[in-house]
Structure 1
Amino acid sequence: MKNIKLTYPASYQKRVETAVKNANPIDWSCDTEPDENRQTVHVLLEDGEGQSLMDAVQNMFSSKDQWRLTLFDVEATLPRNEKPPSETSDEDKKKSRKQAMRETLVEEVMGGSKLTVDFIVLTVLSAIVAAIGLNENNVAVVIGAMVIAPLLGPILGFSLASALGSGQMMLQSARTAITGLAIGFGTVFFLAILFPVNLDSQELIARTHISPEVIALALASGAAAALSLTGGLSSSLVGVMVAVALLPPSAASAMYLGAGDTRNAAIAAILVLLNVVCVLLSTQIVFVWKGVQPRRWLQKQNAAKSRRINLAVWAVLLVGLFALGLWLNDHADIVSI
């Protein structure tokens, strides 16, 4: 459950109360401040509810002063909110596909899309662990690398920014994602130059095979991440799934390149790009399906255009990269030096 605390000028009391009632709250209360110029309303809502109230409040006060909306998570409340099945209305059934509020999505995703010192350090550490796991053919170590890899944030951030039509958010997420992949690649490449690479490692070889199963894995990983986010659930575990699609093939490409095997380095690199495209495509489809969009009409139009362009680009790249990967598999002599 969520609790919204809204402080606003007392002159807006009736309009605020109407917006609160339209949000279908579990309970709500209103307090007047001592000077009687401002009021505070507390609204208790089910998870997945409240976007209409957030939008109404922003429409009322976006150009005003002396207002503040704060959103809290509610651990528990008594008495319990239990509605018998017989009391479930048709309107409630239509709203059964709940999702996290737009502002919550932005706050959570963009926090993980920032290029911070922690992000860089975790990327370097995950790359080192992945290189060791691949070189020693140790599945457990590779999984450990995927657990600490911070790659989910910028990928989800880019897709969410596209769904909302925010160019600034897209640039921030793209910069973080590209920098993270580049840092991870450079770290493993440096290690591959310094230390011998075990080219017989099955974990390493597995990252040079491009097949429909690989595409299915990346699509499922991205869809699971977006669904967990919009459902208000923790996305930490599906972050490992996204890392499965991105981290090991990136490390494998760097290791092959450091060892002088340009053919397998190229195939692994294409696999990375293919997986990135699949994750972006599936997350964007989920955001569209779940109705994630901006508040204002003009922003909605820009966001719809952005989504159409991105979906078309990802679909074309998906087909092109998959075909290129299959071609490289069939023409090993041309790529090898």
Structure 2
Amino acid sequence: MRLVQVMVPTGKREAVVGVLDEEGIDYALSAESSNRQYAAIVTFPIPKAAVEHIMNRLRDVGIERDSYIVVLSAETVVSRRFDELEQEWEDENPDGENRIAREELIARAEEMAPETTTFVVMTVISALVATAGVLLDSPAVVVGSMVIAPLVGPAMTTSVGTIIDDREMFLRGAKLQVSGVLLGIVSAAVFAVILRTTSIVPLSGPEVFSIGEVESRLSPDVLSLVIALGAGAAGAFSLASGVSTALVGVMIAAALVPPMAVVGIGFAWGSPMAVLGSAVLVLVNVLSINAVALIVLWRMGYRPKLWVQQNEARSIMMTRVTTFAVILLILTSVLGVATYGSVRSAAFEEDARAAIDKALPPDASLVSMDVGYRSFPLLTPERITVTVGYPPGEPPPRVGDEIERRLNEQAPETIDPWREGGVQVELRYIAIERPGGAADSTAEDDPERPAVAARGVGPTPRSPAV
């Protein structure tokens, strides 16, 4: 509910009171004695969904921006008459009960877009925290970076500026979004370079890209699009409903901040192509959030104040939504290929395990198989590390060449024009004590055995590093 105060200009008192009487609204009328151009102050409580309608009625009788209309959020109204008014309004307007007034929407959107200094500082801090969290493989730290990221405001400001045909608001929101993404990536890259050069994170490129929080964002699929669409819809709906957007802001940041950190890490480790999937994910998420927010706000009935602007606003919105949709269609097709690559990779790993089992003698067993992939969006196996268990006291089975042959037969075709040779296979042996025996041992524990616990097999040439 809202408490509205109107400073009534001289000569408009009867018109304002007439509007409130027609709408059945109780009000308090106070005489104005400041010797200015105002004759009275009218205060009245109304339901949240009725604010825009009442403001339009007041505007029709001459209460324009040269007057003052103050809308406050009221915690509680104890009045049977108000309850009846609220119920009557909900019965007459069942679709508008959760919608705030256009002027409230504009004010909230402007407040959500922070000042430049605040935005820059918070974006840099969130990018640094996200980079540290990703490299530490700590989901808790990554979530913390989302909480402080100031990205929900610019996205909502851009959408509201489009809907109400406010070019200045649109440009401010768009500039903040673009600068926020670029600033986040650059901050993450600079921080990651410092960590790498000072050996605080003494890892090679493949080791960094195998970290769980990094690896999960190297090859996004179409499910990532659902997160962005949900974030944009939730952000617009919470903004238009007048509820807190804090938690929605975390969701929007979840779609943007971690991928930006991964892109920065890729540049820091000199492998920008390895994080191409993360860069695509950032772009897809930004466009998706803006497109769905525009649609939600338009469907909720928001339009420019003047009817002559509505056709122009509709044209601008349709142009921008169409542009977003075309770009999203192209990028989503890339994510679709990545999804197909994930399914194909899962099938390959299942077939590869079966092929290894067939190549092993009866007394040996497959302990583990780790596959390294490259070539986003269509994942292709590049390195396979196979760990084979064998009985203690027996020589390791010489099955390296056979396993390599079978794995290369099972490997899917690659679309990488720079890829040469087949899959690089590394075979590791580990002595496994059967039940009833002594403790487990490995080939390295026996000084009389050759050091075959980890070795490459076969003549397969090494592929270029990711």
TM-score, normalising length: structure 2 = 0.67
Residue 30 of structure 2 corresponds to 31
Q: Determine the C-alpha separation between the residues in 2 that align with 1:93 and 1:118.
A: 40
Once the two structures are superposed, what CA deviation does each residue of 1:178-223 show, in whole Å capped at 9, x if it has no partner?
1111111111010121223632211111112222211111101110
Distance 1:332 1:244, change over 3 A: farther
Higher strand proportion: 2
Q: Determine the C-alpha separation between the residues in 2 that align with 1:5 and 1:300.
A: 28
Aligned pairs for 1:164-313 (under 5 A) are: 164-196=164-196, 198-313=208-323
Q: Whose RCO is larger (CA < 8 A, sep 6+)?
A: 1
Aligned pairs for 1:1-337 (under 5 A) are: 1-21=1-21, 25=25, 27-34=26-33, 38-61=39-62, 65=66, 67-79=67-79, 81-83=82-84, 91-92=91-92, 94-196=94-196, 198-325=208-335, 326=337, 328-330=376-378, 333=416
Q: Determine the C-alpha separation between the residues in 1 that align with 2:219 and 2:127.
A: 20
8 Å contact kept, 1:166–1:303: no
Once the two structures are superposed, what CA deviation does each residue of 1:273-293 show, in whole Å capped at 9, x if it has no partner?
001111111111110111111
Shift of 1:242: 0.4
8 Å contact kept, 1:113–1:173: yes
Distance 1:83 1:306, change over 3 A: same
Q: Which amino acid aligns with 2:262?
A: A
Q: Determine the C-alpha separation between the residues in 2 that align with 1:90 and 1:178.
A: 40
Q: Determine the C-alpha separation between the residues in 2 that align with 1:101 and 1:62.
A: 16
Q: Determine the C-alpha separation between the residues in 1 that align with 2:95 and 2:282.
A: 38
Q: Determine the C-alpha separation between the residues in 2 that align with 1:48 and 1:88.
A: 12
Shift of 1:116: 2.3
Q: Determine the C-alpha separation between the residues in 2 that align with 1:75 and 1:97.
A: 17
What secondary structure does 1:3 align onto? strand
Residue 447 of structure 2 corresponds to none
Higher CA-based Rg: 2
Shift of 1:153: 0.3
Q: Which amino acid aligns with 1:49?
A: A
Distance 1:49 1:310, change over 3 A: same
Shift of 1:90: 8.1
Q: Determine the C-alpha separation between the residues in 1 that align with 2:85 and 2:50.
A: 19
My pick for the range that moved more, 209-218 or 133-142, is 209-218
Shift of 1:84: 11
My pick for the range that moved more, 138-147 or 106-115, is 106-115
Q: Which amino acid aligns with 1:268?
A: S
8 Å contact kept, 2:48–2:97: no
Q: Determine the C-alpha separation between the residues in 2 that align with 1:63 and 1:314.
A: 36
Distance 1:37 1:234, change over 3 A: closer
What secondary structure does 1:207 align onto? coil
Q: Determine the C-alpha separation between the residues in 2 that align with 1:38 and 1:264.
A: 69
What runs of 5+ residues in structure 2 fail to find an aligned partner?
A: 202-207, 339-375, 379-413, 419-464
Shift of 1:257: 1.6
Shift of 1:64: 7.4
Higher helix proportion: 1
What runs of 5+ residues in structure 1 fail to find an aligned partner?
A: none
What secondary structure does 2:302 align onto? coil
Once the two structures are superposed, what CA deviation does each residue of 1:56-85 show, in whole Å capped at 9, x if it has no partner?
3345447674x2111111122323644499
What secondary structure does 2:303 align onto? coil
What secondary structure does 2:11 align onto? helix
8 Å contact kept, 2:189–2:267: yes
Percentage of identical aligned residues = 25
Q: Which amino acid aligns with 1:218?
A: A
Q: Which amino acid aligns with 2:307?
A: W
Q: Determine the C-alpha separation between the residues in 1 that align with 2:223 and 2:171.
A: 31
What secondary structure does 1:8 align onto? strand
8 Å contact kept, 1:23–1:52: no
Shift of 1:237: 0.4
Q: How many residues align?
A: 334
Distance 1:300 1:19, change over 3 A: farther
What secondary structure does 1:210 align onto? coil
What secondary structure does 1:118 align onto? helix
